[in-house]
Amino acid sequence: MGEFKGFLKYDRKKQSEEDLESRIENYDAFQHRFCNDDASEQGARCMDCGTPFCQTGTGVGKETVGCPIGNYIPEWNDLVSKGQFKEAFERLAETNNFPEFTGAVCPAPCESSCVLSINSDPVAIKGIERTIIDEAYKEDWVKPRTPNHRLGTRIAIIGSGPAGLTAADEMNAWGHKVDVYERDMKPGGLLRYGIPNMKLDKEVVERRVSLMEDAGVRFHCGINAGVDLTYEALDEKYDAVIVATGARKQRDLKLEGRQSRDIQFAMDYLTEQIKYQFDEIDAPSISAKDKQVVVIGGGDTGADCVAMALREDCKSVFQFNKYDRLPDAVKGNPFWPLEKKEFKLDYAHAEYEKKFGVEPRTYGVQTMGYDVDFLGDLKGLNTQVLGEESLNGLSVEDQERYFKADLVLLSIGFEGVESELPKAFGLQMDNNKIAAAEDDYRTSRQKVFAAGDSRRGQSLVVWAIKEGRGVAKAAHKFAVQNKMFYKSS
Ligand SMILES: Cc1cc2nc3c(=O)[nH]c(=O)nc-3n(C[C@H](O)[C@H](O)[C@H](O)COP(=O)(O)OP(=O)(O)OC[C@H]3O[C@@H](n4cnc5c(N)ncnc54)[C@H](O)[C@@H]3O)c2cc1C
Ligand code: SF4
């Protein structure tokens, strides 16, 4: 246990951040780690409750209870509270290949499930995790996971997002020779080309990729498997193939006028902006500069668009949310161990409010039509007010509202997997995802495994890591057994 009655003695602390006004002048990551003393104090708040819901990790419908990768949270809380950061890092590294990613971007279902959160503030688990790994890098404790010997097996991994990277890290460490094939020009998947730099510094991704290269993993970028690389070529060369290509097919809102160049997918906007920031393209084709922007979709990707548009110096942003505003925050969590249903200001909303004096979200709004002129330029959006709260007291005429807009960013989720690779590889699909069992990750094709968003649909980085670890075990077993069989026959 961290400290007897520590949770009564110390309050939950937030990690410090760059101030709201100055950070929108650049694209730098704005959140800091705890200093060691603060992390120790926060670790001391852990009650070691005996039933650590925080580390259980199960899916309940679309929600998650506890940490999906089963991080040994109470154990490292205790170690950190005693200042034993090296031991805490070693324990953390047993379950999490990339704490630097989750420590920066995980929505921390562990904290919602923390027993303390029933009637108080949860332990700052994510901030402690981030501090452990940052300290580990600072002290040079993070080393390439180079295997002691090679097994003589070869594994191909398609896709280098967190699922593919995790599978590569595990399988290489166990002695397989691992080749990762990636369509983009650099590895990382959505860690690099989706999540903005403000939330996850791309140097953090590069640092990990380069450790993996030092350990022997080979990355082949700019290769579109299924087009540049056939299944037959992979089958000939490799003992197992892991498909971790994500679920990138974006949901569209096909209303009249959709063909306007001023209506774009959120992901295309974010990816281009990130490429532009890192000099991978000369100029972005989608820009929010000096524009009245409407982001359709109230989720996290939409919030990332708000943050990006602010940094581009947009004129204004409305972020449409179909649902009513959630109630204001209260202490304690009546939904425990699930996430609390309360009003939150995401980082982007707080930044916007600071600059413009209002938060950018509008609630209970349904888009009914795009107003596009004969030249194809967007003028605005016709909307209808929905939801009990939002409709409250409105006359029939007031239920329709027009929003001026020069740019619309569609952020209404993802339909599933792009179909080219599954078609080319002859893989069976299940509801827009690659069909593969949850226990052994095997697809309809002998030798081919699937994991991450391509198997479970758009999800979270922490679930991708969980899937990467799971698929690595399954492919390892398969490849080793096959090798033994062929050697002895
Ligand atoms: C804008 C945005 C922000 C997000 N923010 C967060 C967040 O803050 N926290 C969080 O936990 N989750 C977040 N997510 C979700 C998270 O990023 C994903 O769940 C996670 O990245 C999935 O990992 P993956 O490895 O399965 O797929 P991906 O990260 O999508 O990686 C798939 C990789 O496969 C490659 N690929 C695809 N087809 C081929 C092919 N034919 N040949 C070769 N390579 C191919 C792609 O180029 C890509 O690199 C966010 C998602 C988006 C879109
Ligand atoms: S990975 Fe996410 S859920 Fe797991 S301990 Fe870290 S912040 Fe919590």
Identify the pLDDT of residue 486: 60
| Closest protein CA for atom 1 of ligand 2 | 102
Mean local confidence (pLDDT), 458-469: 97
Tokens of 239: 């003992």
- 76, pLDDT greater than 60: yes
- Strands lying side by side in the sheet with 154-158: 218-221, 177-182, 154-158, 240-243, 448-450
CA distance linking residue 6 with residue 42, whole number of Å:
9
Q: How much is the pTM?
A: 0.96
Beta-bridge partner residues of 219: 180
Structure tokens at 166: 């995790």
pLDDT at residue number 489? 44
> Cis peptide leading into 147, omega within 30 of 0?
no
What does the block give as tokens for 5? 């009655």
List, for residues 294-304, the tens digit of each pLDDT value: 999 999 999 99
Which of 91, 106, 200, 469 gets mutated to test ligand 2 (max ligand atoms within 8 A of its CB)? 106
243 CB burial (10 A radius; 0-12, 13-18, 19+): buried
Ligand nearest to the CA of 300: 1
- Residue 267 Cβ inside 6 Å of ligand 1? The answer reads yes
Please choose from 54, 105, 126, 467 the residue to mutate so as to test ligand 2's pocket, defined by most ligand atoms within 8 A of CB.
126
Q: What is the pLDDT of residue 267?
A: 97
Q: What are the chain's domains?
A: 6-14+27-138 (1.10.1060.10), 154-249+415-488 (3.50.50.60), 252-412 (3.50.50.60)
DSSP β-bridge partners for residue 63: 60
Contact 198, 105 (CB under 8 A): no
Please give the C-alpha separations between residue 11 and each of 54, 150, 185, in angstroms, as whole numbers.
19, 50, 45
* Residue nearest atom 20 of ligand 1, based on CA coordinates: 461
Residue 432 corresponds to which tokens in the numbers above? 């827009």
Average pLDDT estimate for 241-249: 97
Give yes or no for residue 291 having a pLDDT over 70.
yes
Q: Which long-range contacts (CB under 8 A, 24 or more apart) does 95-98 make?
A: 95/69, 95/70, 95/71, 96/69, 96/71, 96/129, 96/465, 97/165, 97/166, 97/169, 97/170, 97/465, 97/468, 97/469, 98/162, 98/165, 98/166, 98/169, 98/208, 98/465
Ligand nearest to the CA of 73: 2
Pocket lined around ligand 2, Cβ cut-off 6 Å: 67, 69, 71, 73, 102, 106, 108-110, 125-126, 129, 462
Mean pLDDT of the chain, nearest integer: 95
pLDDT attached to residue 184: 97
Distance 81 CA to ligand 1 centre (A): 34
pLDDT in tens, 132-156: 999 999 999 999 999 999 999 999 9
pLDDT 10s digits, 164-203: 999 999 999 999 999 999 999 999 999 999 999 999 999 9
Q: Could you tell me if the CB of 417 is within 6 A of ligand 1?
A: no
H/E run at residue 401: strand 400-404
Cβ within 8 Å of residue 279, ≥6 positions away: none
- Neighbour count for residue 483 (Cβ, 10 Å): 15
Q: What average pLDDT does this structure show over 324-335?
A: 87
The helix (H) or strand (E) run that includes residue 400 is strand 400-404
* Nearest atom in ligand 1 to 228's CA: 42
DSSP 460: -
d(CA 260, CA 463): 36
246-275 confidence digits (pLDDT tens):
999 999 999 999 999 999 999 999 999 999
Q: How far is the CA of 465 from the centre of ligand 2 (A)?
A: 11
| DSSP conformational letter for 294 | E
141 vs 6, residue with greater confidence: 141
End-to-end CA distance of the chain: 54
Residue 61 pLDDT: 85
Structure tokens at 395: 């006359």
pLDDT the model gives residue 1: 67
CA atoms of 10 and 13, how far apart (whole Å): 9
| Token pair 């004096």 in the structure block, residue | 357
pLDDT one-digit tens code per residue, 391-432? 777 777 778 999 999 999 999 999 999 999 999 999 999 999
